[in-house]
Structure 1
Amino acid sequence: MSEETVRGAPVGDPGPDKKIPEEGVHPRGKWANNKEFLLCMTAEIVDLGSILSFPYLCFRNGGGIFFIPYFVLLVFCGIPVFFLETALGQYTSEGGVTAWRKICPMFQGVGIASQVIVSYLNIYYIMILAWTLFYLYNSFKSPLPWSTCDNMWNTDLCHSHLSVFANPHLFQPDSNWSFLNNVTSPDYFEDITLMNATEPLLHGITPEKEFWINRVLRMSDDMSMTPVHWDMALCLLLAWVMCYFCIWKGIKSTGKAVYVTATVPYVLLLIIFFRGVTLPGAGEGLRYYLIPDFHLIFQPRIWFDAGMLVLYSYATCTGVLTTLGSYNKYKYNCYRDCLALCCVNSVTSIFAGFAVFSVLGFMAFEMDVPIYEIAAAGPALIFMVFPRALSLLPGSSFWAVVFFFMILLLTLGSQFVRVESLATVITDLFPRHLRRRGAREILVLVITVVSFLLGLPLVTGGGIALYHVIDMYGSSGTSLLIITGVEIIVIAWVYGADRFYDNIEDMIGYRPFSLLKYCWLFITPLICGFLLLYNLAHMYPLVVFGYAVGTWATTVGGLLMVIPLICIPAFILVSLYKNSQNMTTPSSDLRQAWPHKPILTMCNCVIFKAQGQPNRRADETNEKIVIEELNRV
């Protein structure tokens, strides 16, 4: 007899997909192997935030001292939330909405709120992919179009810089510079270095910036949402076509696509790293990245930045982790792999910092300016700073192709995994209609077409302002922290931390480290609360390229922030109206290996007693299936 039946008779569905599906309805799929799960998770969490945001925040917050708050908040906030969401999906075998409906019906709105945020991300995050495609196409040109000032989009104020490192033959005492930048003086190059190199960088009048603003974004003075720039719209369309064919067959195609999008970026990052650390000035860049500024450890800002970076880079509160976990087999050891994935993400972030700041150090050396004047985050780093640095290298077109191909794969991997998550959630909500032959392809097509149409305002003259509004408010820190806090509280205090621990033990065969339980009960909710208070106290008006966006941004941003959050209380009221007696009762489909045990205990004291009682019919059926599962394992 199995261990489960000795300690207590299990109740509920012993595992996912044990029921006989209706005629014509396909059963819910599973990963073909463990590698697909690991690679999909890697594609989701190792994205631009891990590669670019970590190095910049480390630089802005005292260099190596940033590691302390980062790892503290990773242990006490990031890992507990990451594992909770993944284990929830594996236990329920449901997507990001129906998993919460089964665990605690009154908090189904938590799942709905997360899917609203995923919808925001699907609409605006893919713009990075569209811009990257445009830059990748132009990277094959020589010279790079953003490295010169003789293009139709350049202004009279544009001033380029000739790299000493890439063109040493031009920097000789007898070289004639009269053909460069309208300079007629044949004097020694040292006489004009400061005048022509640092001035445009300080004032931002560089060909890279003009290419980004005047050619790619084509910003209008009034930030209007017309007209649509059709070349960028085609790039956006191509980005959606790529996403569609990566996931149109469900996890069968998604699991294969991530073999490329989750592994090749590491090869490209390694190439950039080895090139970067061999450049002149790389050592100075790494010094800015790593040398700690100890007095900043007492500043609240460094702890807030570390906490938000952890939550964003680990893809929490979007339901994606729950969805990816739901395709695991019931007895899969997700605890072990979640810890491994967290290590991979953090190590990748730290390693990426060496690649990024070695290149920035070289750029600062070439431009003869302090590195703090060129360090940037977000699209500015990807589409202005790095293209400028790459244009200073010998064989600049090759390095531009390598860099933007890496950005393409990183962005594509995160994007199609999110779309896959949304499609799974909708399918799980309506399985009778959407698990039929051909329905999956149509659903994904509808999601991509609708998201593409909603994203067209982002490729207009005011599109960059709308992009930053959605980024600042739609997936805001406020929404993220509230949803994360509610998730933790529901599992720990409503469903019961001990009961969830029992579920995990039933799946993986042993109980996780006990610190996780107390993180869920106390530490993680308190951290989210403190971060939320700091975020609310330090919200500032949105500024895009030095221009304050109008009041419309605040109005639109407020709506984007309220819509997901209002789902939580709304569905509590719906649950109260429909079935007030079972608002917190888990679904009977969920397997409870030890239903007699208390759902929450602390210091050997029972806080909440057991809720469910076994029935003999379920006992007999579940015992047989559990023994079969253990024999297969």
Structure 2
Amino acid sequence: MYYLVSSFSNELPWSSCQNNTWSTDRCWDYSEGKTPPNNSVPSTQEFFDRNVLQVTTGIEDMGSMRWDLFGYLCLAWILVYFCLWKGIKSSGKVVYVTATVPYLLIGAFLWRALSLEGSEMGLKFFFQPKWEQLLEAKVWVNAAAQNFNSIGIAFGSLIAFASYNPFNNGLIRDTILISLVDAVTCILAGMCVFATLGNLAYEQGTTVEEVVSNGPGLVFVAYPQALAKMPGSTVWAIIFFGMLLCLGIDSQFATVEVIVTSLKDGYHHLIERYLKRHEVLVLLICFVSFIFGIPNVMEGGFYYFTLIDYYTAAISLMYIAFFEVIAIVWIYGADRLARNVRDMTGSLPNVYIRVCWLVMAPCLIMAIWIFSMIDYTEPVYNNVSDGINYHYPRWAILLGWFFASLSLGVIPGFAIFEIIKAPGDTWVEKIRSSFKSRIDNCPCCQKSLDEKHEAHRLTDTVSTIV
């Protein structure tokens, strides 16, 4: 939102070092030459660090509140609230906009990116494999994390939204379609990114590797630098950051819907008694989430944000996904799950899908999670503007693991709780009984079968009468 609003100007504010309160002597205005001088800092980086974030020297110094970012944070949650306040019907209508408009913007941006000089350098870097890197565990961990984040695996959003589908919905078709659309979208977005980075490398007389950056640095440093070089830069900046806003809101309200659906399913009677209305529940969730987001928009908030992102992205998702697969496929049972699918779709899942359920998925997820633990290194924040690599203090590392434990600790905690209250005279009997599913038959499937039998009975009755 900050960058989108800043784009509505005759000249993009990050495109120059001149007459800016946030510029330093090291600021490099790339419009003056192709090759940056030694120890220089691009104007886009200084704009991001010193104007947008006004970043402090470390997480020990949180500084004061960035009130403009605080306002945008508040506005973001207001948008999320009004996307969800009327329930799944309102969010479904919003998705028609937030999920389709970005494709139009990606198409326009891809057309422009491919026409830039040097774009072929970026595309070559993007599509040319480096086979030797497949031997590195970190590559597989990052690839899995990308799939989990991109499709939404283990976030709960797929389960929450799927619960609103008709019982006989074609779930196999939907699964394949979502996977294919996601893959194509990732390729198109990757072409936009690397074609633009290729142009950036061409302008600076360097390689694509030198201008590639990870995380927010790509979106808020490298991309604005490329946008400022384009003819009609203001228009393209508005298109780009407008697209990011749509995608961000889309992902955010999908995540919030998980919390709303889970609370309504688990505490339906309490919510009806005390909160009365769906709108009040959504307002409460958005307000609490807004409060938890406030530390991120302080001057030292980016250190806090980086810490949360590092410890909750890949580590927690793999862990949660592994136990989801084990609980559903091995405890509830792959055979019963297959029969549920048959009741819904009319046919059993093929052998390949059942082998994936039982063996391939849990083994692959566990292997990737173990490798992510083996390759674990403590987070380091690269403060480019100050020219230092910031190492987090020990208490901050412990805080990061605390964030991770909020999701990691729930599973063993509830496992112990279930074992304690499970029937049995000995601990062995308790553990054995706790590993048995309490669901003998899916109630929805049984209801569907009863309806089918009733329909057949009525058909037979009518045939007899005729």
TM-score, normalised via structure 2 length: 0.89
Correspondences of 1:242-321 after superposition (within 5 Å): 242-321=79-158
Amino acid at match of 1:374: V
Alignment: residue pair count: 439
Answer yes or no: is the 8 Å Cα contact 2:26–2:40 preserved in 1: no
* 1:298-337 residue CA offsets vs partner (Å, 9 max, x unmatched): 3333333222222222211121111111111111111111
Number of the residue aligned with 1:112: none
Provide the rounded CA distance (Å) in 2 between the counterparts of 1:320 and 1:289. 30
State which of 459, 469, 486 in structure 1 corresponds to 2:323: 486
The CA deviation at 1:352 is 1.5
State which of 424, 431, 452 in structure 2 corresponds to 1:626: 452
Provide the rounded CA distance (Å) in 2 between the counterparts of 1:295 and 1:401. 39
Provide the rounded CA distance (Å) in 2 between the counterparts of 1:347 and 1:496. 33
The percentage of counterpart residues that share the same residue type is 34
Number of the residue aligned with 2:181: 344
The CA deviation at 1:493 is 1.4
| 1:543 equivalent in alignment to 2:380 | yes
Provide the rounded CA distance (Å) in 2 between the counterparts of 1:483 and 1:341. 21
Number of the residue aligned with 1:154: 23
Answer yes or no: is the 8 Å Cα contact 1:144–1:391 preserved in 2: yes
State which of 563, 567, 575 in structure 1 corresponds to 2:410: 567
Answer yes or no: is the 8 Å Cα contact 2:26–2:41 preserved in 1: yes
Number of the residue aligned with 1:555: 398
Provide the rounded CA distance (Å) in 2 between the counterparts of 1:522 and 1:587. 23
Amino acid at match of 1:568: I
State which of 197, 215, 227 in structure 1 corresponds to 2:64: 227
| 1:591 equivalent in alignment to 2:443 | yes
| 1:576 equivalent in alignment to 2:423 | no
Answer yes or no: is the 8 Å Cα contact 1:433–1:439 preserved in 2: no
Number of the residue aligned with 2:259: 422
Aligned CA distance change for structure 1 residues 572 and 152 (closer, same or farther; 3 Å) = same
Answer yes or no: is the 8 Å Cα contact 1:427–1:435 preserved in 2: no
Aligned CA distance change for structure 1 residues 623 and 279 (closer, same or farther; 3 Å) = closer
Correspondences of 1:167-246 after superposition (within 5 Å): 193=33, 197-200=34-37, 203=39, 205-223=41-59, 224-246=61-83
* 1:11-44 residue CA offsets vs partner (Å, 9 max, x unmatched): xxxxxxxxxxxxxxxxxxxxxxxxxxxxxxxxxx
Answer yes or no: is the 8 Å Cα contact 1:427–1:434 preserved in 2: yes
Amino acid at match of 1:214: R
Amino acid at match of 2:333: G
Correspondences of 1:401-440 after superposition (within 5 Å): 401-434=238-271, 438-440=276-278
Number of the residue aligned with 1:524: 361
- SS of equivalent residue, structure 2 residue 355: helix
- Unmatched runs of 5 consecutive residues or more in structure 2: 383-388, 425-432, 458-466
Number of the residue aligned with 2:13: 145
State which of 452, 473, 490 in structure 1 corresponds to 2:290: 452
The CA deviation at 1:287 is 1.0
The CA deviation at 1:628 is 6.2
Provide the rounded CA distance (Å) in 2 between the counterparts of 1:553 and 1:235. 27
More helix by share: 2
Provide the rounded CA distance (Å) in 1 between the counterparts of 2:315 and 2:157. 19
Provide the rounded CA distance (Å) in 1 between the counterparts of 2:321 and 2:456. 34
Higher relative contact order (CA 8 A, sep 6+): 1
Answer yes or no: is the 8 Å Cα contact 2:307–2:379 preserved in 1: yes
Number of the residue aligned with 1:98: none
Aligned CA distance change for structure 1 residues 204 and 408 (closer, same or farther; 3 Å) = farther
TM-score, normalised via structure 1 length: 0.66
Number of the residue aligned with 2:222: 385
Number of the residue aligned with 1:609: none
Answer yes or no: is the 8 Å Cα contact 2:295–2:301 preserved in 1: yes
Amino acid at match of 1:205: V
Provide the rounded CA distance (Å) in 1 between the counterparts of 2:186 and 2:449. 45
The CA deviation at 1:292 is 2.2
* 1:397-436 residue CA offsets vs partner (Å, 9 max, x unmatched): 0010000001000111000111111111111111123358
Provide the rounded CA distance (Å) in 1 between the counterparts of 2:236 and 2:8. 10
Answer yes or no: is the 8 Å Cα contact 2:380–2:390 preserved in 1: yes
Aligned CA distance change for structure 1 residues 623 and 306 (closer, same or farther; 3 Å) = closer
State which of 326, 333, 336 in structure 2 corresponds to 1:496: 333
Answer yes or no: is the 8 Å Cα contact 2:80–2:252 preserved in 1: yes
Number of the residue aligned with 2:427: none
Answer yes or no: is the 8 Å Cα contact 1:272–1:355 preserved in 2: yes
* 1:94-136 residue CA offsets vs partner (Å, 9 max, x unmatched): xxxxxxxxxxxxxxxxxxxxxxxxxxxxxxxxxxxxxxx0000
The CA deviation at 1:544 is 1.1
Q: Which has the larger displacement, 529-538 or 579-588?
A: 579-588
Aligned CA distance change for structure 1 residues 367 and 630 (closer, same or farther; 3 Å) = farther
Provide the rounded CA distance (Å) in 2 between the counterparts of 1:467 and 1:624. 52
- SS of equivalent residue, structure 1 residue 569: helix
Give the superposed CA RMSD: 2.1
- SS of equivalent residue, structure 1 residue 461: coil
Provide the rounded CA distance (Å) in 2 between the counterparts of 1:296 and 1:622. 50
Amino acid at match of 1:590: C
Provide the rounded CA distance (Å) in 2 between the counterparts of 1:489 and 1:549. 35
Q: Which has the larger displacement, 492-501 or 435-444?
A: 435-444
Provide the rounded CA distance (Å) in 1 between the counterparts of 2:136 and 2:217. 26
Provide the rounded CA distance (Å) in 2 between the counterparts of 1:221 and 1:232. 19
